[in-house]
Amino acid sequence: MSFILIVPLNESPSLIHLQNDVQAKVSKWMNGDTSVKNNTLKVPKDQEFAINNIQLNTSKSEVEKHLGQPKRVTTNEYGLKWFTYYDGDYNNFVMVSYLNNKVNALYSNQNIITSKSKIKYNTPKEVVEKRLGQPINEVVKGRYRFEVKDDEYDVFHKDHVYSTVFYDKHNNNGVTALLQVSEAMENRLSQQYGAPSSALEKSFEYQNYDLVNAERKQHGLNTLTYSDNLAQTARKHSEDMVKNNYFDHTDLQGNSPFDRLRKDGITFDTAGENLAYGQKSSIFAHEGLMNSLGHRKNILNNDFTTLGVGVDFNKNRQPYWTENYTGE
């Protein structure tokens, strides 16, 4: 589930300019013009997919020989770490998780995906399914069966690897991201959600921020500065929703997102808020928000300059995300 609220404070020609500017940039991206500069991408030899020439089972030393040192290391729902790599300002964005010093999970939402089946960024969903076969409809872990049923992504299970292919329903259902997780890593998660902790909360927050910036870079937009003040306001709202068992932009005291920002002394000309809950990770939350047109407009709003993210977990381990965006 997810909601959006975006209210420009000044209804003026600047709003029309914003809409036209975003539309032009998105159209430019949809026609294949992207600011993400690719290295020479190679068709993988061992695995079905590669991301920026990195495949599952590659050693950590080989990855860092190719990608350098990670820009950020965070906790993931499997009780391991995501190592986040990119060049410069979020070019060639890759998230890698290691098990026994070998790649056991890979993700990117940029145009750096290659495949033995000639699947890449923007490949239509029907082509993916034709080439990879029938996606699975459940994941079995011991006595538990977890349903996989979402028209916004497919999960393929082959050669002990779960490959989740995300689609952009606002761009002809083309491939927009890829997540690969080995069976060994997936089986570390015996429940649907990871075990809540302060480390996982903070990690989900930073992961979400990185995902938004990688998305904006792919779409030719400026990246956002992280704001601890915005994050604090966002976190308090997530905590309040969990504590009082509701999910809404307006809190139980009647405060809007803009009221909460002002009460915390945050000034802005334009602001927006995205909410999400119930997804297993920041990756699934972000991809879901991108397929919701209103949330997508917040993520790709060219007038926003800062972002803060707040996460909390309910008693069922479900995470709640609040994204607060501002521009001045």
Render pLDDT for 234-290 as a digit per residue (tens, 0 to 9). Answer: 999 999 999 999 999 999 999 999 999 999 999 999 999 999 999 999 999 999 999
- Could you tell me if 159 and 188 are in contact, meaning their C-beta atoms sit under 8 angstroms apart? no
Give the per-residue pLDDT at 20: 41
Mean pLDDT of the chain: 91
Boundary residue ending a domain (122, 152, 187): 187
Give the per-residue pLDDT at 66: 97
Residue 11 lies in a domain: no
For residues 215 and 316, membership in a common domain is answered with yes
Instruction: List alpha helices for the chain, DSSP H.
Output: 13-30, 60-67, 125-132, 183-186, 198-218, 228-244, 257-263, 282-290, 293-299
Give the per-residue pLDDT at 38: 52
Number of domains the chain contains: 2
**Per-residue pLDDT tens over the stretch 91-105:** 999 999 999 999 999
Residue 25 lies in a domain: no
For residues 182 and 55, membership in a common domain is answered with yes
**Per-residue pLDDT tens over the stretch 165-204:** 999 999 999 999 999 999 999 999 988 999 999 999 999 9
Lowest mean pLDDT among 45-49, 280-284, 319-323: 45-49
Predicted model pTM = 0.89
74 token code pair: 């965070």
For residues 173 and 284, membership in a common domain is answered with no
Lowest mean pLDDT among 26-30, 182-186, 212-216: 26-30
- Could you tell me if 164 and 148 are in contact, meaning their C-beta atoms sit under 8 angstroms apart? no
Q: What band does 6 get if pLDDT is binned at 50, 70 and 90? A: very low
For residues 229 and 157, membership in a common domain is answered with no
**Per-residue pLDDT tens over the stretch 64-84:** 999 999 999 999 999 999 999
Boundary residue ending a domain (164, 187, 210): 187
Domain at 230, CATH number: 3.40.33.10
Q: Which residues pair with 324 in a beta bridge?
A: 273, 308
> Is the pLDDT confidence value at 8 over 90?
no
For residues 140 and 210, membership in a common domain is answered with no
For residues 160 and 258, membership in a common domain is answered with no
* Domain carrying residue 85: 49-187
Boundary residue ending a domain (124, 153, 187): 187
Residue 214 lies in a domain: yes
**What is d(CA 264, CA 227) in angstroms, rounded to the nearest whole number?**
13
> Is the pLDDT confidence value at 25 over 50?
no
For residues 171 and 211, membership in a common domain is answered with no
